[in-house]
Structure 1
Amino acid sequence: MSAAAPAPAPDARDAPEPWPRGVSRDPALSIGQVVGLLRAEFPAVTVSKIRFLEDQGLVRPVRSGAGYRKYSRADVERLRFVLTQQRDSYAPLRVIGDRLRALDAGHDVEPAPTARVVTSEGHVVVPSNRPSLPARELSDLTGASIETLERYTGLGLITPDLAGYFPSRSIQVVTLLLALEGEGVDARVLRSVRTGAERSADLIDQAVSSQRSRSRASDLERAGSRSMELGELMADLHREMLRVSLSRLNGLSQAGRGERGPSR
């Protein structure tokens, strides 16, 4: 009996085209033209924002012989996807990158679920992207009781305005607080995280204050965009420093067990 023929090696041409498919990949657009195409939908987008997203590996423009970035229509669609995810679902860049890689691999990506609130009449309402929301809605969206929200407020972990409304990003904050408490972390010790965040915000504010002091709308938009970019970088720095510290602690713990020797 003759041996079975080996399976043919996969042909690179069979790999799916990177997402989006069927869109021109001709690198014919400058970074300024890309900003112009996106600004109607995302007024705060800037050249520095596009460069930041490139640094994060979310878009890879071609470099011309003179070193200038050249973008294709497909690059513009990837950028539009990233900006939409940030605006509509507050997704972190790491999650957005995972979704893009899934799309590149040919998988369908479910749209980010929009939180739903059930009113007292039993109707399901999809809240709009409002900048703030009342305590009852925050409770419905996160599953936290009103008493829990009052406790977090008393600890200074979330802060309502004078009318009792919370910033919309409190949804993510409360969700993370609930998860940490579920892992046995006392919410009282998390006040230091809030203090650290406020100090980081102060540093960022100082870095962009010169732009914010100008009255032109374009300067204010640029300052806001730069603040968010610096915030992303600050969050990444905090995460990596935390990993270094945890690795050091784990190393010390393992060294201590080694010095004591195996138990008898």
Structure 2
Amino acid sequence: MAVPVRAYLSIGEVLSKLRNEFSDITISKIRFLESEGLIEPQRTPSGYRKFTNTDLERLRFVLLAQRDQYLPLRVIKENLDALDRGLTPASAVGGVATPRLATQDGVLTANTFPDDQDLRLTRTELISASEISEDQLSELESYGLITIRGRHYDADSLAIAKIVVAISAFGIGARHLRAFKTAADREIGLVEQVTTPIRSQKGTEAKAKADEVEREIASLSIRLHASLVRSGLHRSK
């Protein structure tokens, strides 16, 4: 009879896996890093720590940052937080974490609709990543073009900010872009007319089907919008 493989490691097993790479690692140090909030292993009903492979890699990240970059725990914790929010950690103390996105020329492409909703940016990170000004961002928020979710901005906010920065070079300000928001809201309504009945269906496949239909219609609507604008510009020549 095969012995079931545990999905977790004990603290002693973690120590054994790391000792060859980090000669100064001890159980006390692992416990200290946990007390500082750098790792958060689960516990068994008896109170013993359960480390997953993710916990192990997180611990290795901390130890490498200490040994090779001489980073203080505060900075390492900030870098871990950046990773948790879908960012690339700042490379130096005082740096700003940057987004890790599947982009084309730094802007999310319309026809792929990648799911980067795990990305969470602070206001400072959004401004740095998009090169938008504080005044521009505030104006976009006042018109509802960018909305903060809780305490962070998402990938869509970053994409919008980048586009606004690019288009502002032609003298087009945020107030001129309200028409885009109005048109987008109408298109969203059309998409939801199709997908809402699908989402209301029973079964585990309903949501996946609705998401796929939503992406397809959204992609087609953007292509239609681009074609109509291009056609109109050609007629005006």
Please report the TM-score for the alignment, with normalisation by the length of structure 2.
0.51
- CA offset at residue 166 of structure 1? 2.1
Counterpart amino acid of 2:94?
Answer: G
Aligned match of 1:135: 123
**Does the CA-based 8 Å contact 2:143-2:175 persist in structure 1?**
yes
The 2-side partners of 1:140 and 1:117 are apart by 13
Counterpart amino acid of 1:170?
Answer: S
Aligned match of 2:201: 214
The 2-side partners of 1:154 and 1:116 are apart by 29
Which residue of the other structure, out of 122, 126, 129, is the alignment partner of 2:94? 122
| Cα deviations by residue, 1:214-254 (Å, 9 ceiling, x for unpaired) | 2433110110111011000000100111111111222xxxx
The 2-side partners of 1:134 and 1:213 are apart by 35
**Does the CA-based 8 Å contact 2:87-2:119 persist in structure 1?**
no
The 1-side partners of 2:174 and 2:128 are apart by 20
The 1-side partners of 2:217 and 2:194 are apart by 9
- CA offset at residue 141 of structure 1? 1.1
**Does the CA-based 8 Å contact 1:117-1:137 persist in structure 2?**
no
Which residue of the other structure, out of 132, 135, 147, is the alignment partner of 1:147? 135
In structure 2, runs of 5+ residues without a counterpart are 1-85, 101-115
1:241 aligns with 2:228: yes
- CA offset at residue 168 of structure 1? 1.3
**Does the CA-based 8 Å contact 1:116-1:124 persist in structure 2?**
no
**Does the CA-based 8 Å contact 2:130-2:162 persist in structure 1?**
yes
In structure 1, runs of 5+ residues without a counterpart are 1-113, 251-264
The 2-side partners of 1:190 and 1:140 are apart by 22
- Name the CA shift for 1:194/1:119 in 2 (closer, same or farther; >3 Å): farther
Counterpart amino acid of 2:213?
Answer: R
**Does the CA-based 8 Å contact 2:143-2:178 persist in structure 1?**
yes
- Name the CA shift for 1:204/1:224 in 2 (closer, same or farther; >3 Å): same
**Does the CA-based 8 Å contact 1:134-1:164 persist in structure 2?**
yes
- How many residue pairs get aligned? The number is 136
- CA offset at residue 147 of structure 1? 3.0
**Does the CA-based 8 Å contact 2:88-2:99 persist in structure 1?**
yes
C-alpha RMSD of matched pairs (Å)? 2.5
- Name the CA shift for 1:136/1:123 in 2 (closer, same or farther; >3 Å): closer
**Does the CA-based 8 Å contact 1:118-1:125 persist in structure 2?**
yes
| Cα deviations by residue, 1:31-85 (Å, 9 ceiling, x for unpaired) | xxxxxxxxxxxxxxxxxxxxxxxxxxxxxxxxxxxxxxxxxxxxxxxxxxxxxxx
Secondary structure of residue in 2 paired with 1:216? coil
Which residue of the other structure, out of 232, 235, 243, is the alignment partner of 2:219? 232
- Name the CA shift for 1:120/1:140 in 2 (closer, same or farther; >3 Å): farther
**Does the CA-based 8 Å contact 1:117-1:125 persist in structure 2?**
yes
Superposition pairs of residues 20-35 of structure 1, within 5 angstroms: none
Task: Determine which structure has greater relative contact order: mean sequence separation of CA pairs < 8 Å that are 6+ residues apart, divided by chain length.
Answer: 1
Aligned match of 2:145: 157
